[in-house]
Structure 1
Amino acid sequence: MISQAGDSLEIRRFSTSDEQGVIDVILPIQREEFGIAITAEDQQDLRAIPEFYQSGNGDFWIAAAGERIVGTIALKDIGGAEAALRKMFVASAFRGREHAVAARLLDALLAHAERRNIEAIYLGTTEKFLAAHRFYEKNGFVEIAMQDLPASFPVMGVDTKFYVRRI
C-alpha cells in the first residue's frame, strides 16, 4: 500500500469503502466546473473500480484530508506495457502548489508504473484545461496526435488533446 502522510493529507490505494467519497469529489467537478451533464450511473467504472482499474497493471488512488476524499487518479492497464491515466480530479480547495495533491497523486501513479514495468502512460483531456496541460507538460508528458494513440486507449468523447509519458 502506498501511503504518504504529512500535512494531514494521505495518498493511498482505493478501497471499496471509498466509493461514495470518490463519486462525491468527481461528479461536482465534472458537472459544475466542466459543464458535463453526467451522472454516476453514466460512469459504470466508478461503481466497479476494483474490476475496472485495480486489475492487471492498473490501480486507483485517492487523496484524503482526514475523512474527506479530495483527489483521485487512476491507471488503466491497456495492454502491451502501456496504460491510460484516468480520473485525475482534485477538489478546488486543494489545488495548487501549496497542497501538491495532484503532484502527490501523480507521484504514486508513476512509482506504481515503474514497479510494474509500464513503458508508456497515455492520457486525454480537453483543449480548455490549460492548467492541466501545464501540469502534465511540467511532469514529463508530451503532446501527441490522436492517431498516435494505441488502439487500446479508451478515448472519451470530450478528449481533444492527448499526451504520453515514456517511463
Structure 2
Amino acid sequence: MTKRILIATLLSLTTAAAGTLAVAKPGFGPERHKPTFEQLDTDGNGALSKAEIAAMGQARFDAADTNGDGLLSAEEMTAKAQQRIAKRTAAMIERFDKDGDGALSAEEMPQRRGPQQLLDKADTDGNGSISKAEFDTAQAILETVMKKRHHRGGPDRQGHQMDAE
C-alpha cells in the first residue's frame, strides 16, 4: 500500500502542481478549528442534532460572507483562501525555519517524500529510471486510488473535495 501511495504522490506531483494551495479543502492545515462536542451541542442535551451540525456549517458560511448578502462571491472565496494560505505559510515557516531568518532555505524545507524516493518506488525493475510500462502501471494504481477516494468522498488529485456517490 505504501508503494501505491508513493507512486500516486509521484504522479500527482507531476500533474497537480501549484494551484492546490489556493483551493485547499477548508478545515485542513494549522488554522483548522476543531470545535469541541460541548461547543457543537448548543442546547446542552448531550447529543448532536442535525440542526446543531447545520448551524455550525451556516456559521462558517456567514463568516465567509463578509458583505452579508447571503452569497459567496469570487472575491469573498478568494479572500478566505488567501487567509488560509497566509496562516499555513506562517505556520510552515515557524516550524521549519531553523536559523530564525523568517524564510526557508532549500535545506530547511521539509523532506517528506523526496523525488528520488518516489522514483525508487515507481522503478519496479530497479534500473534507476521509469520506463513507459512502469509509468503506465503507476498511472493505473493512481487511478484506482482516486476512484476509491471518490467513492468515500475523499479529495481528488488537485485536493478538491469530491462527493461520494
TM above 0.5: no
**Which is richer in strand?**
1
**Which is richer in helix?**
2
Tell me which interval the TM-score lies in, with the shorter structure as reference length. Answer: under 0.3
Question: TM (normalized to structure 2)?
Answer: 0.24
Q: Which has the higher contact order (CA 8 A, sep 6+)?
A: 2
